[in-house]
Structure formats: structure tokens, C-alpha cells
Amino acid sequence: MSASRNAVLLSVLLALLVVSASAFVEELDDTFMETRGADDIWLIKFYAPWCLVCKQLDPVWHQIGAELKSLGSPVNVGKSDASVSTGLAKEFRVRGYPAILLLKKDVKYNYSGPRTRDGIMDFVNRVGGPLVRSLSSLQLFQHAMSRHNVMFVYVGATSPLKGNYTSAAEELIVHTYFFSTSRDVLPKAVSLPSLPAVVVFKDGAYFTFNEELDGDLKSWINRERFPNYFKIDSYTLYAMGESGKLVVLVLVEEKSLSEKSLRFKSLVDKVAADYREIYSRNFHFGFMEGSDYINGLVMGEVTVPSVIVVNLSNDGYFLPPGIMETERHLLEFLNGVLDGSIQCQGGNNVSQRIKRLIYDAKVTLTPVFQQAPLFGCFLVGFPLAIAAAFCYLCCRARPTMSDNDDNDGVALLAPSLQHRKKLTGKKSD
């Protein structure tokens, strides 16, 4: 009896926890845009009942709702079934599931990072707060520096440059933090050529925006928002492609690194730091654990460890023409990519897209055939059978050339037969 009673109590406790967590996440429908407050901030997850990733994210989503409420955050958390509330999904231009967005004063911010609690909470804290955060003391500046790998700071009084900076922050705050301060707050070691100025602090150094050399401020921020050399995942790699730069990538093992992997990582890290002034306008540098993502890009097995340069703007890639052992080898490789002597492979033209579809289908179906051959045959054979039956029915429904010829022949013969009958009638008369 005691065991059954404990099981019942445990079930009731779990149910209460689920209900209490659900109380912090509101289900939204097509009336949301009409009933929400003008100044409300909403974090919304769009899902579909059949989406497995959406179901896996659900406990994390309720945890985020409870945590934000306990912190007194002004951000409301909601979710919406996009297969039911189609009007709301259309309003937010939802294309895939789960889609995560933050609505703030009629501005919609899309979240494209990893579907984890830490990633989403950082996004909420960044976008839900002020566009540009003021640093009023050296202590606040040092605290911000300790928390952020990359930090953009506007220094000076109100100016047209600050207007451009705020405009860039409104769009790019989904990716990075923006701050403003006065010159006397910055450490004495920070030297600025003139004021006002926009400065990026990263990798233990700082760099000042120069309009003549760097061009558009927003484009410069988008290029500089990544550390000089760091660990890259698939989400970050995709975002790097949007900056217009190529990515110099070291592929290493996922767990225990070999001596060659450590040497490659050290080599690329050194070149990224020592030759920043030469290559930073064209390249990002980093390393990635595992090669699954890159295998899909090149449609084959990439050796690990290895060095590859990828162009995410057109799904192209560059491979070293020879061995990669010394700094000189790496510099020759990068220079060859820039001057065009090393040919770009891959791409996103029609033929490459067809090849990639075939490759993706092969990669997806091969494990199925290995584990369940009959089910694999059904997956491939059933659509082919449907297509064959459809083509057969279309061919049966279309009139053949012989039928058309026969009908035309009858139509042509009919007048001559009638004419012959008239002639026969005259002769009989």
C-alpha cells in the first residue's frame, strides 16, 4: 500500500509541476495581435503537433517561462500552434518549426541560434533590454568586458554617427550587445584618434571603426561581431556566411584530439592573430569538432583533421592543393584563395543542388536500408509506384496518334461519300 501511495503522490507532484510551469507560458491564437498591449514584449515559439524537435523543446520552453517570471522580467512567454493559428503564423512569416521570435514594439526579431536554455535566455536578455546600454563607470565597463567576448561601444556625445550606430543596433542586436559611454569611463590605455568613435573590444584588443577603410558601419559591425578565432558550430557557421567573409576552418576530432589536430589549431590561431590586418577583411577563423556538417557541404567524407575554407554565401569551398604543415603552407593557401589561383569547388547552381539532394537522400536512406531493408524498400518503392501509376493513367487518358488519324480520315471521307451519293441519285434520275 505504501509503494502505491508513494507512486500516486509522485504522479500528483509531477502533474502540479507541469501545471505550475505551464502557467507561465500562454497559448496564443489569431487574436493575439489585436489583444496584446502596445508596449508588451513577447517571446513566442511557433510549433506544429507533428514536430519532434518542438516536443523536445517544450520542457525547456516552460522552464524559460518560469525563470523569466521569477526574475521579474518584462518579457512574456507564449507559444502558438501554427497549424491551427495560421493567421498569426502568417503575420510572423513562419517558415519552419520550431520558430522562435521576440516581438518588441512592433519589431520582430528572429532567433536562429541553438535550441538550448542558455542560448534562448541570452537572446531574450539581449533583445528584450535596451538597444544601447549605457556604461556610466569604469567598473561597469570592466564588468561588461568580463561577460562578453565581443563588445561594441559608442564613445562620445550625440552625433549622426550615433544615429547610425543605434540604427545598426536595432537590426543586429539579435547577434551581439551594444554599449555607449564617455571617453573618461574607458581605461587610459585605450587610445582613440578622434571623437565620436565606435570601438569593438575582442580578443584582448580593440579596433576603431574607420569609415574610409571599413565602409558602411552596419556592414563593419556584422563582420566584426565574431571573435578572431574560436569554436564554431553549424549555427555560427551559417551566421558567418551572412557577413560576406570566407571561413578558414580547422576540422578536428569531437573528443580526444590528435597531435596533428592540436598542431593545426595552433597554426591557424597564430595566423589569425599575427596577420589580422591582412586577412581580417576577408576571412573568419575557427575550428569545428567533427565533420558531419562539412561532409554535407562537399558531398563526401572530409579527412579529420584538416583545413578547409568555406564560402557560405554560395555553398562553395576551397581545399589545400598540397600538404599543410607550416605557416608558409597556410599563407600560400589563403593567398591562393584570394587571388583566384585556387579554384572554388561546389556551389549552389542547379547541377550542384541536384547532386546535393541525391547525396542527402543517400545519407538519409543508407542507415535505414542497413537496419531495416524491407522498410527502406517500401520508402523508396512506394513513391516510385505512385509516380508510375500516375504516368500510366496520364498516358491512357491522352488520345493516341492513330486514333486522331482515324477520326480525321472519317471526317475527310464523309464529304466525298455524301458527294458520291448525290451523283448516284442524279444518274438514277
Instruction: Give 10-residue mean pLDDT values along the chain (429 residues).
Output: 52 44 81 89 94 92 93 92 92 90 90 89 92 94 92 95 95 93 93 94 91 91 91 86 88 92 95 91 92 87 93 90 92 95 87 73 63 63 73 70 48 44 45
Neighbouring-strand partners of residue 288: 251
DSSP 8-state class, residue 292: H
Question: Same domain for 235 and 304?
Answer: yes
Lookup result for grid cell 538550448: 116
In a domain, 1, yes or no: no
Q: Which domain holds residue 366?
A: 351-395
Edge-to-edge strand ranges of the sheet holding 246-252:
229-231, 283-289, 246-252, 306-311, 316-318, 345-346
- Report pLDDT digits (tens) over 119-150: 999 999 999 989 999 999 999 999 999 999 89
In a domain, 428, yes or no: no
Domain boundary among 81, 116, 151: 116
Question: Same domain for 238 and 322?
Answer: yes
Question: Same domain for 332 and 358?
Answer: no
Domain boundary among 55, 87, 116: 116
- Report pLDDT digits (tens) over 263-287: 999 999 999 999 988 998 899 999 9
- The three grid cell numbers given for residue 60, joined into one nine-digit string: 525547456
Contacts of residue 243, Cβ cutoff 8 Å, sequence gap at least 6 = 222, 223, 225, 226, 284
User: What is the rounded CA–CA span in Å between residue 16 and residue 120?
Assistant: 25
Strand pairing report for 316-318 and 306-311:
antiparallel
In a domain, 171, yes or no: yes
Question: Same domain for 241 and 316?
Answer: yes
Active site residues: 51, 54
Question: Same domain for 65 and 77?
Answer: yes
The CA distances from residue 209 to 154, 168, 173, in Å, are: 10, 13, 18
Question: Same domain for 205 and 293?
Answer: no
In a domain, 186, yes or no: yes
Query: How many C-alpha atoms does 249 have within 13 Å on its Cβ side?
Result: 30
CATH of the domain at 181: 3.40.30.10
Question: For residue 32, what pLDDT is reported?
Answer: 92
Whether this prediction's pTM lies above 0.75 is answered by no
User: What is the rounded CA–CA span in Å between residue 171 and residue 406?
Assistant: 69
Neighbouring-strand partners of residue 133: 179
Question: Same domain for 218 and 246?
Answer: no
Question: Same domain for 255 and 363?
Answer: no
Question: For residue 7, what pLDDT is reported?
Answer: 53
Question: Same domain for 112 and 195?
Answer: no
In a domain, 299, yes or no: yes
In a domain, 283, yes or no: yes
Question: Same domain for 82 and 110?
Answer: yes
Question: Same domain for 238 and 315?
Answer: yes
In a domain, 9, yes or no: no
Q: How many domains does the chain have?
A: 4
Neighbouring-strand partners of residue 42: 76, 103
Instruction: Judge whether 284 and 247 are in contact, CB under 8 Å.
Output: yes
Domain boundary among 170, 204, 224: 224
Question: Same domain for 291 and 328?
Answer: yes
Question: For residue 12, what pLDDT is reported?
Answer: 44
Helix axes 373-397, 350-371, angle to 10 degrees: 130
In a domain, 181, yes or no: yes
| % of the chain beyond a pLDDT of 70 | 81
